[in-house]
Amino acid sequence: MSRHTTRAGMAVLLRILPGLAGMVGLVAAWWALVAVFDVASFLVPTPPQVAGAVRAWPGHLAWHAWVTVREAGLGFALAVATGLPVGAVLATSRHVAAGLMPSLLTLAAVPKPALAPVLLVTLGFGLAPKIVMVWAMCLFPITLATHAGLTQTPADLAELARALCASRLRTLWAIRLPAAVPHLFVGVKQALPLAVIGAVVAELFGGVEGLGYVIHTAGTDAPLAFAAIALLAAMTITLHSAAQHAQMLCAPWIRHTTS
């Protein structure tokens, strides 16, 4: 094994070690609280009981986890596909932003569980209401991050574009969009947990599959319900880490230009 490979492996280990230590501490605190207060296992199970549920239902949990990932991924992709252009339109004019922002704030303020019965009545019990729920959860942070990024271009770069007589489209593509990348990824990392939450909320209110459905139908089998919750947590952590790596690949200059 080369010295470069060893150093790279050590760097990765050092990056993930604090997170692993935090998770171990969280699980230890959970286990200790259950033991100290003698909580009944049908209310809050211990970590070994949850691990036992995962071992007892591996295929069942894996299938429902895939369903939730699919719903969250499709709804998130739709939110990105609509949020980016809407944010760009808001950034083009203060008048447009003043006209559309109240509507976006209204959509963001609506409690999303209140939309679930309406979505079930209008779209049925299939995949569509789950995707729309996830889209509604994720749209606002992505739109807001896009708008903020495109309207907060460093003044020296904007002046450079004017001095070079660059067109609006050229300025947007070559200067404003690269400068907005950090803001865009902030919105993405905020929206990803909301995508998982939106999928679970939709499953709780009318799903027949997915981890939300597992939690809803677990009844007194608390270890199974907590196993589904643990998978949701692992899913969210994985998606956030993927977004972090995507940011490093898409904008490697951020580490060298920020403190």
d(CA 202, CA 127): 10
Largest CA distance in the chain: 72
CB under 8 A, 24+ apart: contacts of 151-160: 151/91, 152/179, 152/180, 152/183, 153/179, 153/180, 154/179
Give the pLDDT confidence of 115-174 residue by residue, as tens digits. Answer: 888 888 898 888 999 999 999 999 999 999 999 888 877 666 666 666 666 666 666 666
What's the rounded mean pLDDT across residues 181-185?
A: 88
Q: Could you tell me where the beta strands, DSSP code E, fall in the chain?
A: none
Check residues 96 and 171 and name the one with the higher pLDDT. Answer: 96
Question: 259 pLDDT exceeds 60?
Answer: no
Q: How many CB atoms lie within 10 A of CB 240?
A: 15
pLDDT score recorded for residue 64:
96
CA 61, distance to chain mean position in Å, is: 20
Which of the 8 DSSP states describes residue 44? S
CA-closest candidate to residue 148, choices 192, 102, 179: 179
**Helices 58-92 and 94-109 sit at what angle, rounded to 10 degrees?**
150
**How confident is residue 249, by pLDDT bands cut at 50, 70 and 90?**
confident
d(CA 151, CA 55): 50
d(CA 196, CA 115): 16
**How confident is residue 183, by pLDDT bands cut at 50, 70 and 90?**
confident
Domain boundaries defined on the chain: 1-38, 43-257
Q: Tokens for 170?
A: 């050229």
What letter represents residue 155's amino acid?
A: A
Query: What's the full length of the chain, in residues?
Result: 259
Give residues with Cβ within 8 angstroms of 158, minimum separation 6: 171, 175, 176
Provide the whole-model pTM.
0.87
CATH 1.10.3720.10 assigned to domain 43-257? The reply is: yes
Question: 10 pLDDT exceeds 70?
Answer: no
